[in-house]
């Protein structure tokens, strides 16, 4: 991936903002986020994040993400959200056989050829401090289909969550979108 960008895969832990700030202080990059519906809160969120990063991109700005990656930038990206049926594929996540998982990882990896680096910001098990765990870089995810990439990414998400399951944001309603005809889990 020399000369290409890096997708820093951040999982939604309670330490997400802290971890992104710690990482950004040493390796500033571009954050991918959902703009807040409240303009004041969006400004505050962006202002805080830009204190240790280069810029922010709306999660819908695929063209901007690919351009940044092809320019050698590092982008922070979270693949562990349920973005609804139009932006997702259904693949396993833990014991849920059909978890709606973003197809964005597949699109980004396929279009940019960027290296994928998972990281876990967590409170230390003894409760005394924090640590950033950076997993080995992945240079060639399976790109034959959105489903193959999403299933591969979910295995990484599972691995990351298991490093600190009590610190994961389970409140995110990760399983809200279900395949047609399948009952809600909530």
Q: What is the pLDDT of residues 65-114, one digit of tens each?
A: 999 999 999 999 999 988 888 899 999 999 999 999 999 999 999 999 99
Q: Does the residue 180 lie in any domain? A: no
Is the separation of the CB atoms in 160 and 135 below 8 Å?
A: yes
Tell me the per-residue pLDDT of 24-44, one tens digit each, with 9 for 90 and over.
Answer: 999 999 999 999 999 999 999
3-state secondary structure of 35: coil
Q: Does the residue 59 lie in any domain? A: yes
CB atoms within 10 A of CB 169: 15
Query: Is pTM beyond 0.75 here?
Result: yes
Q: Does the residue 178 lie in any domain? A: no
Q: Does the residue 181 lie in any domain? A: no
142: containing domain: 6-172
**3-state class percentages of the chain: helix first, strand second, coil last, to nearest 5:** 35, 25, 40
Q: Does the residue 165 lie in any domain? A: yes
Q: Does the residue 89 lie in any domain? A: yes
What's the number of domains the chain is made of? 1
């Amino acid at each position: 991936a020399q000369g290409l960008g890096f997708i820093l895969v951040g999982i939604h832990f309670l330490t997400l903002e802290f971890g992104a700030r710690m990482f950004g202080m040493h390796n500033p990059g571009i954050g991918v986020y959902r703009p807040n519906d409240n303009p004041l809160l969006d400004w505050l969120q962006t202002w805080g994040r830009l204190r240790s990063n280069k810029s922010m991109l709306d999660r819908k700005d695929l063209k901007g993400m690919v351009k940044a990656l092809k320019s050698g930038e590092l982008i922070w990206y979270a693949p562990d959200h349920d973005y609804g049926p139009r932006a997702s594929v259904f693949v396993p996540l833990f014991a849920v056989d059909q978890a709606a998982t973003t197809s964005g990882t597949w699109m980004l990896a396929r279009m940019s050829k960027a290296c994928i680096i998972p990281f876990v910001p967590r409170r230390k098990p003894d409760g005394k401090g924090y640590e950033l765990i950076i997993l080995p870089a992945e240079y060639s995810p399976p790109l034959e289909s959105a489903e193959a990439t999403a299933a591969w990414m979910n295995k990484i998400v599972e691995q990351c969550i298991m490093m600190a399951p009590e610190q994961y944001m389970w409140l995110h309603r990760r399983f809200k979108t279900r395949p047609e005809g399948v009952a809600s889990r909530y």
